[in-house]
Amino acid sequence: MKNQSFYISRLSWQASLTALLLTAGSYTFVPSQLQAGTTPTLTAQVPATTTIIYVNSTTGQDKSGTGTTAAPYKTITFALAQAQPGTVIQLAPGNYSKDSGEQFPLVLNSGVTLQGNETNKGEGTLIIGGGYYMSRTWARQNITILARDNTFITGLTFTNANKMGTAIWVESSNPVIKNSTFINNNREGVFLTGTANPQIENNIFLKNGGQGISVTKLAQGLIRGNLFQDTGFGVAIGGSSTPLLEANNITQNKSGLYISGTAKPILRKNTIRNNKQDGIVTTVNAAPDLGTSINPGGNIIRDNARYEVNNSTKGRITAIGNDINEKKIAGAIDFAPLAVITPTDNHTGKIGNTGNTSNTPKIGNTGTTVNIKKPVNTGKTKK
């Protein structure tokens, strides 16, 4: 295994996922195919008091069905119309699309769970397609699902190949999105806007046209333990958003992270390697937190084709406690903290006692400050 990665080109989608699940979270995979499987119908694992609606796109019937395991509904659309807060909609393996009767976008109302098979991250349970939704913050969009407050999405595969298509739209809501796969979406897998505050964990974002996840406006939320591979940008973060990205594997994308606007994401324990341009790009007035002396970053940012960190802003980025190739840096980056200056006792009164009796405070640089302009000279300077 090289650079904590391995590649699977001739295995089935299920075998690829199995390989992924049996290895450490930082490894990568490349599936050779993605199609509905023939695995048995799943039984939802939920508390006994929970209402469960079963859906099967192959054997189900909306008109005569009862939503039970013996008589499932055919479409997610019909099941959602029956669902009340606290309902779990359990999908059998199969394709759920316009051809099977779905009407997009699907609206997941508050308190509803939509689930397939978590153990294989939705292999064989595909929701395909999208429809127009008028966003309060971004006008008309083409989306597969609108996820409202306190919703739960898990164990499904999403593809919206429509022009500018997005799989899951999160607008000022707090859904949980886990153990799913987002593949071949025309723009991105998940879009966060408004004051969105979701939990997005342990998903696969693969071969999406724009980015795996877009984060805009005042969105926050937790993005943890996901794989972003072979997509445009792994995650695009803009507006004044402040998400936490933790323990993600971001590899083989155009660039790993693209951070713009006045966004201030917090990055901890991510692996950002082998991207085709830059590991992290920052523009405009973005100010990501890559680690402080109190809370080190713990990110691995290496082996990206051009720069590990490309800071195109006028400000400095603090990146303490990371594994970064400092020879492949553009812009101003502080890799270790500067000394704290404590005011001395001068004519303004006693503010602090540093043991320095002069009126000039002693300033020490205990770390390394790098300010490299493009192109980077990684060789020795001749006299």
For residue 197, is pLDDT > 60?
A: yes
Q: What is the mean pLDDT of residues 172-187?
A: 98
How confident is residue 345, by pLDDT bands cut at 50, 70 and 90?
very low
CA neighbor of 77 nearest in space, from 44, 109, 110: 109
Q: Report pLDDT digits (tens) over 114-124.
A: 999 999 999 99
The pLDDT, as a whole number, for residue 28 is: 44
- The least confident of 63-67, 136-140, 277-281 is 63-67
- The least confident of 7-16, 193-202, 230-239 is 7-16
Q: What is the mean pLDDT of residues 184-196?
A: 98
Distance, CA of 344 to CA of 289 (rounded, Å): 30
Cα 310 to the chain's mean position, in Å? 20
For residue 6, is pLDDT > 60?
A: no
The pLDDT, as a whole number, for residue 23 is: 35
Q: What is the mean pLDDT of residues 316-323?
A: 94
* DSSP conformation letters of 169-193: EEES---EEES-EEES-SSEEEEEE
The string over 172-183, giving b where at least 16 C-beta atoms fall within 10 Å of a residue's C-beta and e elsewhere, is: bbbbbbbbbbbb
The pLDDT, as a whole number, for residue 15 is: 40
Q: What is the mean pLDDT of residues 173-200?
A: 98
For residue 358, is pLDDT > 80?
A: no
pTM for the whole thing?
Answer: 0.78
For residue 57, is pLDDT > 50?
A: yes
For 78, 117, 168, 348, 364, the CA distances from 100, given in Å and listed in that order, are 12, 20, 20, 78, 69
For 331, list phi and psi in degrees, rounded to 5: 95, -175
Q: Are 5 and 274 in contact (CB under 8 A)?
A: yes
The string over 194-232, giving b where at least 16 C-beta atoms fall within 10 Å of a residue's C-beta and e elsewhere, is: bbbbbebbbbbbbbbebbbbbbbbbbbbbbbbbbbbbbb
The pLDDT, as a whole number, for residue 230 is: 97
Distance, CA of 193 to CA of 195 (rounded, Å): 6
> In this structure, which amino acid lies at residue 54?
Y
For residue 292, is pLDDT > 90?
A: yes
- Cα angle 235, 241, 244; round to 5: 60
CA neighbor of 275 nearest in space, from 314, 239, 234: 234
Residue 14: strand, helix, or coil: helix
CA neighbor of 170 nearest in space, from 185, 155, 184, 150: 150
How confident is residue 374, by pLDDT bands cut at 50, 70 and 90?
very low
How confident is residue 65, by pLDDT bands cut at 50, 70 and 90?
confident
- The least confident of 57-66, 103-112, 170-179, 212-221 is 57-66
How confident is residue 50, by pLDDT bands cut at 50, 70 and 90?
confident
Question: What does the CA dihedral 24, 29, 33, 36 come to, rounded to 10 degrees?
Answer: 20
Share of the chain above pLDDT 70, in %: 75
The pLDDT, as a whole number, for residue 49 is: 63
Residue 319: strand, helix, or coil: coil
Distance, CA of 174 to CA of 199 (rounded, Å): 7
The pLDDT, as a whole number, for residue 337 is: 53
Distance, CA of 142 to CA of 160 (rounded, Å): 8
Counting every residue written for the chain, the total comes to: 383
> In this structure, which amino acid lies at residue 222?
L
Tokens read off for 83? 């669902």
Q: Are 175 and 152 in contact (CB under 8 A)?
A: yes
Considering only the C-alpha atoms of the chain, give the largest distance between any 2 of them, rounded to a whole number of Å: 89
The pLDDT, as a whole number, for residue 335 is: 84
Q: What is the mean pLDDT of residues 76-88?
A: 97
For residue 363, is pLDDT > 80?
A: no
Q: Supply the Cα-derived Rg of the chain in whole angstroms.
A: 24
Q: What is the mean pLDDT of residues 38-47?
A: 44
For residue 20, is pLDDT > 60?
A: no
